[in-house]
Amino acid sequence: MLTDQYQQKRFLVVDDFENFRNSLKKMLFDLGGQYVDTAANGNQALKRCEQVAYDILLVDYNLGDGKNGQQLLEQLRLTKLLKHTSIFIMVTAEVDKEVVISTMEYQPEAYLAKPFTLGVLKHRLDKALRRNESLHDILSALNEDNYASAIAHCDELMRNGSRYSSWCLKTKADLLYQLEHLDEAKSIYQQAARERQPDWALLGLGKTLAKQKYYPEALRTLTTLVQNNPVALEGYDWIAKIHQEMDDYVSAQKALAKAVSISPRSPLRQQALAEVCWRNNDWDMAIEAYGRTVDLSRHSIHYGPNNSLDLARCLTSYVAVADEENIERLKQDSLHAISKITKEFKGNSEVRMQSKLIETRLYAAVRDEKKTKEMINTVEAMCDKSDARRAPETLLELARTYTFIDDKEKAEEVIARLTEEYAHDPLIAKQIDTLVETPVSQEGKDKVAQFNKIGIQHYKNDEFIVAIKKFSTALQLYPKNIVLNLNLAQALLSQLTGNTNNQEYWDRCQLCFMQVEHISETHEQYGRYIQAKKIHDSLKQPSLN
């Protein structure tokens, strides 16, 4: 069985069992390998990979405590420690469905199911090496991020009728998509999808259509994908993304919940689910998903304070609206989450401040005025002590807290500082939008304008219920926007002045006025505000049964 092709290769064997490591190492020697390193866990493996560019990695999925094989693969891919020309083989004795599905998501070059013989190992290695040799020029170009050259080499192989032509076609289309040559990518996907609907073609087509904003077509394509193959997880992710683009958060939640029920182990998907649940005020689901995000990212490249902070924020926001009977339990959960953050990230002063601010809001939410005051004083003292440039996340947290405890002056001060320093950062700008009357991000400005237009159209057509729905959705995104609030109020009033004696509408109308009551007399919308308020005040509050 001795072949020279293994002599020059650098192998890394990763397994937590010494016995397995040794016997695999021996097998590789039997195949003619000479350079074989081993690692007992994910962190050791990472260190080895930082020093040596291995050609072939044989990694067990189960690596005991710490990272598992898939988290290792993910980290090696994202940090580019694993080259495209290298071969990652996932070794597994797993028969658990969840494990199998979750490893599929990061696509190792090959799988090897335990137990395997020397012959089977050689067969898999031979096949993987043969493939990588044939695709060498493409993979090398990918190592250098030279997509144009990779595409040229794909074309060359396809012209020569390579065994790997269909891989080349898929790779070419995906690279064209990355390069935003969307029409070219689309025509490849469309043709492949017509011929035999392989997953990659439907997924690629759906993504391309979504990027070109053909949302209904994109949704149809992706729905076909997940109907053909219910475990095509990326399909659900994109369906959710498109629903979010169309501001249909309920459908987005449904798609993500489905994907998570099939494969619960991806922290990124759990986080996406948590965010949309929060937006939908589905608090219990949001908290569960944030909790899972924290747990699942612990040993992965996605580990960091933000997941834990999100969980604490969500819990605290829930406290503010929860029923009396749940408040105490949620308060304890929040405090527990906050104290965990403080312990886990104690060296990070920004995180410490953010968690203290979240705690401040918690006390404010349970109307513990004494503690609220104490906490905010502590934070302010921390702020004064160091004049270090504050992270935008901390400033956002500060602005949220001042807004929540109704210290308008200080809130405005912080928001002004944020806007001045960070309005150019789209992610931060989006967060600022939720705290101010007029969005600072272009996306936010466009959205408000669009929603207003659609809402007004419906209002003019006397379709008040639809108009109310449109304005309400927009207000979920930009709760302080004056024009939106007044428009909603007007739509609600037109219902209330009719015969609709609706408590919910009355309450919501009241809320709109509360959001804009600080409007200055010089504001262009001031006249409208006064007029609408008069109508509202003239109405009797619907009687409570």
Query: Given the rule CB under 8 A, which of 118-126, 152-160, 467-475, 488-496 is the region that contacts another protein?
Result: 118-126
**Coil, strand or helix at 322:** coil
The dihedral built from the CA positions of residue 93, 98, 101 and 107, taken in this order, carries a sign that is: negative
Query: Given the rule CB under 8 A, which of 121-129, 177-185, 327-335, 429-437 is the region that contacts another protein?
Result: 121-129
**CB 81 to another protein: min, Å:** 26
Binding mask 26-55 for another protein (x = CB under 8 A): xx--x-------------------------
* C-alpha distances in Å from residue 432, one per residue of 88, 97, 360, 414: 43, 42, 20, 10
Name the amino acid, one letter, at 514.
M
CA distance 487 to 503: 19
β partners of residue 57: 12, 88
**CB 23 to another protein: min, Å:** 4
CA distance 240 to 274: 12
* Token representation of residue 318: 């829930």
Name the amino acid, one letter, at 94.
E
- CB neighbours of 81 closer than 8 A, spacing ≥ 6? 46, 49, 50, 75
Residue from 43, 48, 81, 101 binding another protein (CB under 8 A): 101
Q: Which is nearer to another protein, 23 or 476 (CB)?
A: 23
Enumerate residues 353-392 that contact another protein by CB under 8 A. none
**CB 199 to another protein: min, Å:** 8
Q: Taking CB under 8 A as the rule, does residue 108 contact another protein?
A: no
Q: Say if CB 103 and CB 61 are below 8 A apart.
A: yes
**CB 123 to another protein: min, Å:** 5
- Residue 106 phi/psi, 5° resolution? -110, 10
Q: Would you give the DSSP letter of residue 447?
A: H
**CB 121 to another protein: min, Å:** 10
Binding mask 219-258 for another protein (x = CB under 8 A): ----------xxx---------------------------
**Coil, strand or helix at 474:** helix
**CB 274 to another protein: min, Å:** 25
Residue from 8, 166, 377, 461 binding another protein (CB under 8 A): 166
CA distance 227 to 140: 36
The dihedral built from the CA positions of residue 532, 533, 535 and 536, taken in this order, carries a sign that is: positive
Query: Given the rule CB under 8 A, which of 39-47, 87-95, 359-367, 533-541 is the region that contacts another protein?
Result: 87-95
Enumerate residues 175-204 that contact another protein by CB under 8 A. 196, 198-199
**CB 39 to another protein: min, Å:** 19
Q: Taking CB under 8 A as the rule, does residue 105 contact another protein?
A: no
- Cα first-last separation, the chain: 87
> Applying CB under 8 A, which residues contact another protein?
19-20, 23, 26-27, 30, 93-97, 100-101, 104, 113-115, 117-120, 122-124, 127, 161, 163, 166, 196, 198-199, 229-231, 262
